[in-house]
Amino acid sequence: ELKVEQNPLFLSMQEGKNYTIYCNYSTTSDRLYWYRQDPGKSLESLFVLLSNGAVKQEGRLMASLDTKARLSTLHITAAVHDLSATYFCAVANDYKLSFGAGTTVTVRA
Amino acid sequence: NAGVTQTPKFQVLKTGQSMTLQCAQDMNHEYMSWYRQDPGMGLRLIHYSVGAGITDQGEVPNGYNVSRSTTEDFPLRLLSAAPSQTSVYFCASSYGTGLETQYFGPGTRLLVL
C-alpha cells in the first residue's frame, strides 16, 4: 500500500519569508502532483512532476522531485497572504492516486 | 467547456437510503475517478475508470458502486447510506490514462443521519 506523508501538517508563515513543505512516499513512483485547496472549495492543480530531478516553478511556488529519495518539496518564496490555503501532494501508483493529509498554510503579516 | 460538473452540491440522507451522485465532464477525458475527503485525512480514492465500460476499485470502495457507460458520465451510487459515509465527495478526470493533470469537480457534501 502506497503511503504519502506530508510535513508539516500546519504551517504559520510570516509574510516575506521562505518556507518548505515536504512530501515523502513509500513506494516507487515517477509521478507526483501538488494541489491547492481553498476552504470550502475544490482542488486546483499546481504541478505535475513526471521524472527524477523535475523542477517546476509558478510565481512564488517551486516544486521538485527526487524519486530516489522518494521525496518532493514545495518551496514558497517570500510568502504573501494569497498563498493561505491547504496544499496536498499526491503520488500515482498504476492508475491510483494516493494523497497526503495536506498542509494547512496561514500567512500572517 | 463546463469542465467537471457534479450534482447535487449538498444532500442529506437517512441511514439506509440509497442515492446516486452524478459526475460529468465535457473534455473527452478517458480517466475519471471518485474521492472522498474527510477532515485530516486528505482525499481517498473510491473507484476509478480508465474508459467507458471499465471500472476498478480504489482504496475505500465498500458501500459504493460505479458504472461508466459513456465517456462523459461516471455516477457514484451509495447502496445503503451509513453515517460513516458523511463526507465531501469529489469527482475528477484527466486526459488519457497516464494520470496527467487531474481536473476536479466542485464537490458534493453528503450528510447521513
Per-residue pLDDT of B29-78, as tens digits, reads 999 999 999 987 789 999 999 999 999 999 999 999 999 999 999 999 99
Give the helix/strand (H/E) hosting B43.
strand B43-51
Taking each continuous run of H as one helix and of E as one strand, the counts in chain B are 0, 11
How does A75-85 read in b/e, with b if 16+ C-beta sit within 10 Å? ebeebeeebbb
pLDDT for residue A80 is more than 90:
yes
Distance, in angstroms, between A79 CA and closest chain B CA? Answer: 23
Average pLDDT, chain B: 95
Contact A88, A25 (CB under 8 A): no
Query: Residue A48's pLDDT band (boundaries 50, 70, 90)?
Result: very high
Burial of B9 (0-12, 13-18, 19+ CB in 10 A): exposed
With CB atoms and an 8 Å threshold, state whether B102 touches A95: no
Confidence of residue B84 (pLDDT cuts 50, 70, 90): very high
- Separation of alpha carbons A15 and A93, rounded Å: 36
How sure is the predictor about A8, in pLDDT bands with cuts at 50, 70 and 90?
Answer: very high
- Chain B residues with CB-CB distance to A under 8 A? 31, 33, 35, 40-45, 48, 50, 56, 58-59, 90, 92, 97-107
- What percent of chain A lies above the pLDDT cut of 90? 84
What's residue B39's pLDDT? 85
Give how far A93 is from chain B: nearest CA, Å: 10
Residue A53 pLDDT grade (very low, low, confident, very high; cuts 50, 70, 90)? confident
A33 touches chain B (CB under 8 A): yes
Query: CB of A92 within 8 Å of any CB in chain B?
Result: yes
- Percent pLDDT > 70 in chain B is 99
Residue B32 · residue B25 · CB < 8 Å = yes
Of B41, B97, B105, the CB nearest to A42: B105
Residue-wise pLDDT tens digits, A18-36: 999 999 999 888 789 999 9
Residue A94 has pLDDT above 90, yes or no: no
Contact between chains at B90 and A97 (C-beta distance less than 8 A): no
Q: Residue B9's pLDDT is what?
A: 97
Per-residue model confidence (pLDDT) at position B40? 78
**What is the C-alpha separation between A66 and A45, in angstroms, rounded?**
20
